[in-house]
Structure 1
Amino acid sequence: MCVRLGGLNVDDFRKVLLKAGLVMVVLGHLSFVAAAILHGTVLRYVTTPHDAVALQYCVVNIVSVTSAIVVISSGIAVIVLSRYLPSMVLRWTVFSSSIACVLLTLTCALGLLASIAVTFATQGRALLTVCTFGSPELLVLTPDCPFDPTRIYSSSLCLWGISLVLCVAESVFAVRCIQLTHQVLELRPWWGKSGHHVVQSPEPVEGHNLMSCTSSVPLTL
């Protein structure tokens, strides 16, 4: 007799969980690094409290960092669940944290899109509030400007674009983790049928281990 979860045997299901968790951890770290670079090179100079655009930039970056931390934590929980699959507490932890990841990453993606759109619309003026120029159309290096104004516009858009791609990828894998944990929790409202299937072997073997079943279904993320 062989226990299957969503068409996979237990061993393959653990491998799928492990891969999904590892990918989420990697994506979370990349997203965190991108947000840290953006803050260190651009946003730490944009400190005008009464500027709505500058405030929006900072809020989006905070959400991006928070989202990255939650994604990393959720990925670690998924990896632990792949080792301790019978734990009901871990199952619910991964399920709830994956939902939080989806909500945060989608919010982050929308915020990043808004930042990119606002930057295009304002031509990056909020990024240059700490610098003074004789002509706003002519960007040159000045002693009172703490960064290179000729590159701040393209650098910001590039980092926001990278963060946006990472947020979308994180949300995809978070949804995948929700689907996987849904199968082991047997929450019927979404997919209707139970994710557990018991396949009866035609010739039972004495001492057969349920964990040693081989899967005929290709392993995919």
Structure 2
Amino acid sequence: MSVDDFRKVLMKTGLVLVVLGHVSFIAAALLHGTVLRYVAASRDAVALQYCVVNILSVTSAIVVITSGIVAIVLSRYLPSTPLRWTVFSSSVACALLSLTCALGLLASIAMTFATQGRALLAACTFGSPEVLALAPDCPYDPTRIYSSSLCLWGISLVFCVAESVFAVRCAQLAHQLLKLRPWWGESSHHMVRPAIPSTALTPRFPGSPCWGAQAGLSPPLWTGPPP
């Protein structure tokens, strides 16, 4: 892979991280604005878990956006060693945080199915949780809160998994620039190489002392009678 191709791959990876981070941030903000700001008022362990996972989602989205921006900057300034380490460390942190966020969202979905959404309906006073009806003391529509929460959690889960994948890819690219040994060995050290100009491959005339070295050819052998 040449330097120009490497720059393009790194820039595209950074752009994807920025887009994924923004979408995850919007999904977490919608979930907080429509559901969790009412659920957080109830003193329940499940509701607390919902809020913690949502805060983790917002934090993960911010870290993903930051990592993507730094990766884009590195694609313009590849020789900068501090930027290389910044991209590598932030990408690793982003991958771990996104994976943790995905596990938390998966746990939230499982707990919602297990409890039949009782924590989501804690702000409303019903005689029975199976009976869903509009009530004056209910700040939201209880007939839609269950499906809306699961839909937003599912979207956030998909994007968290995608963030983890692209963060690992970004960390791999930064690893190749840093030439670290433990992960991929010495073979990856030579993947990024400068493009060879076409003039360097043009053979000179046979009488030149650099003719064989420039063209990669051995000098012609004399096959006729000795002079």
Runs (4+) of structure 1 moved beyond 4 Å? 197-203
Q: Deviations over 1:116-169 (max 9, x none)?
A: 000000000001111012332110111100000000000000000000000000
TM-score (norm 1): 0.86
CA distance in 1 between counterparts of 2:47 and 2:149 reads 13
Q: Tell me the secondary structure at the aligned position of residue 159 of structure 1.
A: helix
CA distance in 1 between counterparts of 2:197 and 2:30 reads 56
Amino acid at match of 1:71: V
Is 2:197 the counterpart of 1:204? no
In the TM superposition, residue 205 of structure 1 has moved relative to its aligned partner by: 5.8
Partner of 1:86: 79
RMSD: 1.7
Partner of 2:172: 179
* Contact 2:124/2:137 (8 A) holds in 1: yes
Q: Deviations over 1:90-124 (max 9, x none)?
A: 00000000000011000000000000000000000
In the TM superposition, residue 48 of structure 1 has moved relative to its aligned partner by: 4.2
Partner of 2:163: 170
* Contact 1:21/1:79 (8 A) holds in 2: yes
Partner of 2:55: 62
Partner of 1:141: 134
What does 1:15-94 align with in structure 2 at a 5 Å threshold?
15-48=8-41, 50-94=43-87
One of 122, 127, 134 as aligned partner of 2:120 = 127
One of 185, 195, 201 as aligned partner of 2:189 = 195
In the TM superposition, residue 171 of structure 1 has moved relative to its aligned partner by: 0.3
* Contact 2:42/2:123 (8 A) holds in 1: no
Partner of 1:114: 107
Q: Tell me the secondary structure at the aligned position of residue 188 of structure 1.
A: coil
Higher Rg of the two aligned structures: 2
One of 83, 101, 105 as aligned partner of 2:94 = 101
Q: Deviations over 1:51-77 (max 9, x none)?
A: 110100000000000000000000000
Kindly, what percent of the aligned residue pairs are identical? 77
CA distance in 1 between counterparts of 2:155 and 2:168 reads 20
Partner of 2:212: none
TM-score (norm 2): 0.84
State the structure with bigger RCO (CA 8 A, min sep 6), 1 or 2.
Answer: 1
More strand by share: 1
Gaps of 5+ in 2: 203-227
CA distance in 2 between counterparts of 1:164 and 1:79 reads 25
Question: Aligned residue pairs: how many?
Answer: 199
